[in-house]
Amino acid sequence: MTNAEVKAQMKAENAPINWTNMLLFSITPACALTLVPLYGYFYGYDLYEWVVFVLLMGYCGLSITAGYHRMWSHKTYKAHPLLRFIFALGGAMALQNDVFHWASDHRRHHQFTDNNDRDPYSAGRGFWFSHMGWILRSYKSGRRDFSNIKDLQRDPIAVWQHKHYLKLVLLMNIGLPALLGWLHGDILASLLLAGLLRLVLSQHVTWLINSIAHMWGRQTYSDKHSARDNPVLALITYGEGYHNYHHTFQWDYRNGIRWWHYDPTKWMIRLLSFVGLTSELKRCNPHEVEKARLEMQYRHATEKCHLLDLPESWRQRLEAEYEQLQQLLQQWSEHRQAWYEAKGKRIQETLAHWEHLQLRDKYRELHFQLKIQKRRWQEMVRHLSQPAAAAA
Q: How far apart are CA 201 and CA 57, in angstroms?
A: 8
> Within this chain, do residues 325 and 178 fall inside the same structural domain, yes or no?
no
**Does residue 44 sit in the same domain as residue 103?**
yes
Q: For the chain, first and last CA: distance in Å?
A: 42
User: How far is it, in rounded angstroms, from Cα 142 to Cα 88?
Assistant: 22
**pLDDT value of residue 392:** 43
- Co-location of 246 and 364 in the same domain: no
Residues 233 and 104 in one domain: yes
The predicted pLDDT at position 347 comes to 45
Q: Does one domain contain both 104 and 26? A: yes
Do 64 and 103 belong together in one domain?
Answer: yes
**Same domain assignment for residues 165 and 305:** no
Name every residue whose Cβ is closer than 8 Å to that of residue 136 and which is 6 or more positions away in sequence: 17, 18, 21, 22, 25
Domain count, the chain: 2
What pLDDT is stored for residue 351 in this prediction? 44
Final residue in a domain of this structure, among 250, 279, 308: 279
Check whether residue 256 and residue 296 sit in a common domain. no
Domain final position from 229, 245, 279: 279
Is 157 in the same domain as 306? Answer: no
The answer on 270 and 162 residing in a single domain is yes
Q: Are 321 and 298 in contact (CB under 8 A)?
A: no
Residue 20: partners with Cβ closer than 8 Å, 6 or more residues away: none
User: Is residue 217 domain-shared with residue 193, that is, in the same domain?
Assistant: yes
**Residues spanned by the domain of 19:** 3-279
> Quick check: 243 and 221 in contact, CB under 8 A?
no
Amino acid 299: pLDDT: 73
Residue ranges of the chain with pLDDT lower than 70? 1-13, 298, 300-301, 303-322, 324-370, 373-374, 376-377, 380-381, 384-392
| Residues 144 and 255 reside in one and the same domain | yes
End residue of a domain, out of 279, 298, 314: 279
β-bridge partners, 242: 229
Label residue 126 left, alpha or beta by phi (over 0 means left) and psi (-120 to 50 means alpha): left
